[in-house]
Amino acid sequence: MRIAVTGASGLIGSALGAELARGGHDVVRLVRREPAGADEVRWDPVAGRLDPRDLAGCEAVVHLAGAGVGDRRWTAARKEVLYDSRVRGTRTLAAALAAMDVPPRVLVCGSAIGYYGDTGDRPVDESAPPGTGFLAELVRDWEAAAQPAAAAGIRTAFARTGLVVAREGGAWGRLFPIFKAGLGGRLGNGRQFWSFISLRDELAALRHILDTPALTGPVNLTAPEPLTNREVTAAMGRVLRRPTLAAVPAPVLRAALGEFAGDVLGSQRVRPARLLESGFTFAHPGIDEAIRAALRTG
């Protein structure tokens, strides 16, 4: 199958592209620079430039492009970058797919559990309404931007991903060095829920969505049982055999991260109801095995 992937240089996109290629698929990577080979297509997601003819023959598209949410402090300018890279980029891609002579059968659009906002101790699944705050509003508009593809008859699914347990990048990639140095600890009071997923399960879930015609709309990509930050901290110490006595008080996080601290300290108890109902099996349902898997592949 010919599959187009955006965000192909990121943590998930690079791993997914390599796995699809190993599986015999023809992977087309969308890039924002001059293409380096026949397997790359240039696009400008924010400016709205993508020639539908460059995607000819693609039967599926996995859209993972977007600026890193936790990379920098959330200034007004940074929030604009986060919004435009996702909403405008998705709008650009969806419009190009809808304009194709033979559109792909499926679009898996990257999304995030930030959609639900702070859920506290309340468990939520895909039936829950959107939350409030910048991230919730961003994800809502991000998903809505894919409407032209869905209107063109393309099966469209939104992979609402949680915290990916990996050493190579993302938020967890920053945690490993801290915990290995014995400096890890809970964030705030540690009672906030973290909905995690191993990188292997993330990739398997994306492929499962591609291969499962019944999956449209939102699909949560998180392990079956979320844990509190305090429980995750204990697991990191247990697996890495390091103390976890340090703690970062909430005021310190707010001073360092600004508005983003609210999401770090917020609680998201998200469950993958639709994945489980569709027969997906997790390789690493528990946090200890997810951490060990990351150590093996890092």
pLDDT tens for each residue of 235-256? 999 999 999 988 888 887 676 5
In whole angstroms, what is the distance from residue 98 CA to residue 102 CA?
Answer: 9
Among 140-154, 248-262, 278-292, which stretch is predicted with the lowest mean pLDDT? 248-262
Q: What is the structure's pLDDT at 260?
A: 67
Token output for 119: 């859920």
Collapse the DSSP code of 4 into the 3-class scheme (helix H, G, I; strand E, B; otherwise coil) and give the result.
strand
pTM here? 0.95
The total of structural domains in the chain comes to 1
Q: What is the mean pLDDT of the chain?
A: 94
pLDDT classification of 264: cutoffs 50, 70, 90: confident
CA atoms within 13 A on the CB side of 158: 23
pLDDT at 26 over 60: yes
Q: What is the structure's pLDDT at 256?
A: 59
pLDDT at 257 over 70: no
Per-residue pLDDT reduced to its tens digit, 60-84: 999 999 988 877 788 899 999 999 9
In whole angstroms, what is the distance from residue 1 CA to residue 101 CA?
Answer: 18
Nearest Cα to Cα of residue 234 among 226, 245, 223: 245
Give the residue-averaged pLDDT of 38-59: 96
- DSSP per-residue codes, 202-248: HHHHHHHHHH-TT--EEEEES-SS-EEHHHHHHHHHHHHT----EEE
Contacts of 239 (CB under 8 A, 6+ apart): 288, 291, 292, 295
Percent of the chain with pLDDT over 90: 84
User: Which amino acid appears at position 268 of this protein?
Assistant: Q
Task: Please report, for the chain, how many H helices and E strands are present, in that order.
Answer: 12, 13
Per-residue pLDDT reduced to its tens digit, 114-148: 999 999 999 999 999 999 999 999 999 999 999 99
Domain span including residue 189: 2-297
Q: CATH number of the domain that 46 lies in? A: 3.40.50.720
Q: What is the structure's pLDDT at 214?
A: 96
